[in-house]
């Protein structure tokens, strides 16, 4: 589970690490955009929201708004919180559709109880496991975060937090504080046998315990071999989703397949699936 290279959390606080240079990477590195988009899609799948119903979601560690773009494209409304001013400036420059808030999740989520239908977070929560100053106590900051998150969610809602734990002790610290705050749930591990593609998703329930989703095991070879490419131009978000435009046949088929993996009843695919209907008048 440990990272082979130097972890970003070891280089200092996130508000300093995620400067303008890092923000540019999230806007111009095609692989980073693709990975972020896929993890957001998986988090939204694990969130198991109602079909065809726009929800109000919280994106913790929203960064430049890549995850928010995915949420908007799926028809949801969202609010993002991040500690890095440079990343939020980049999100504003990209004209992200959600509302943005500068804040430290370790000091709590500053919203009214029951404000959100769900929460996602991509590669952010593990930052709370590191103390950047003497007053920082990881266990207390994690508990403050999870207890406030539990409060701002509608009862019965879920939070799906993608994390990169440094080791098993760090993973236990995170899950222990989440349970202490009132959550139930557990960790879903995708591709556990792959060194590159292995991902951890902390799936938390703010209501009665329900079944924990199963992790993915099959991985496409091209995803393992994909390399980073940089460009002087911004990489459009829709290109990151392989050109899947909302309401097209490909988009509909992808969404139906995602619902099938969730165990939901879905109508069979036909030649008319995703076909545009002419207006009656």
Decide if pLDDT at 238 tops 70.
no
Answer yes or no: are the C-beta atoms of 163 and 129 closer than 8 Å.
no
The DSSP annotation for 179-239 comes to HHTT-EEEEEEESTT-TTT-EEEEEEESSS--PPPPPP----HHHHH----B-SS---HHH
In this model, does residue 239 exceed pLDDT 50? Answer: no
Is-above-0.85 flag for pTM?
no
Q: Does residue 245 register a pLDDT over 80?
A: no
The region of weakest confidence among 78-82, 103-107, 186-190, 209-213 is: 209-213
CA dihedral of residues 92, 94, 100, 103 (deg, nearest 10): -80
Give the residue from 82, 74, 81 showing the smallest Cα distance to 17: 82
Q: pLDDT tens across 42-81, in order?
A: 999 999 998 888 999 999 999 999 999 999 999 999 999 9
**Range picked from 22-26, 30-34, 163-167 for highest mean pLDDT:** 163-167
Q: How many CA atoms lie within 13 A of 234 on its CB side?
A: 12
Q: What is the tens place of the pLDDT at every residue in 144-201?
A: 999 999 999 999 999 999 999 999 999 999 999 999 999 999 999 999 998 888 999 9
102 band by pLDDT with thresholds 50, 70 and 90: very high
């Amino acid at each position: 589970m440990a990272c082979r290279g130097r972890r970003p959390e070891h280089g200092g606080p996130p508000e300093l690490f995620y400067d303008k240079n890092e923000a540019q990477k999230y806007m111009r590195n095609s692989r980073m955009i693709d990975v972020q988009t896929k993890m957001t899609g998986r988090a939204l799948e694990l969130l198991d929201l109602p079909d065809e119903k726009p929800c109000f979601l919280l994106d913790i560690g929203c960064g430049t708004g890549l995850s928010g773009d995915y949420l908007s494209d799926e028809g949801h409304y969202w609010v993002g919180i991040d500690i890095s001013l440079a990343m939020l400036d980049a999100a504003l420059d990209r004209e992200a559709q959600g509302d943005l808030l500068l804040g430290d999740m370790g000091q709590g989520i500053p919203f009214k109880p029951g404000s959100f239908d769900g929460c996602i977070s991509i590669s952010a929560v593990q930052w709370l496991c590191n103390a950047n100053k003497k007053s920082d106590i990881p266990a207390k900051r994690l508990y403050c975060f999870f207890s406030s998150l539990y409060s701002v969610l509608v009862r019965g809602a879920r939070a799906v937090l993608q994390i990169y734990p440094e080791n098993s002790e760090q993973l236990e610290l995170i899950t222990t504080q989440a349970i202490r705050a009132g959550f139930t749930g557990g960790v879903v591990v995708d591709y556990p046998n792959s060194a590159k593609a292995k991902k951890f998703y902390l799936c938390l329930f703010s209501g009665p315990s329900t079944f924990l989703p199963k992790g993915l095991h099959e991985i496409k070879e091209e995803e393992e071999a994909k390399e980073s490419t940089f460009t002087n131009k911004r990489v459009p978000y829709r290109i990151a989703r392989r050109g899947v435009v909302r309401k097209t046949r490909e988009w509909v088929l992808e969404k139906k397949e995602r619902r099938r993996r969730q165990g939901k009843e879905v109508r069979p695919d036909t030649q008319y699936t995703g076909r545009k209907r002419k207006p009656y008048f």
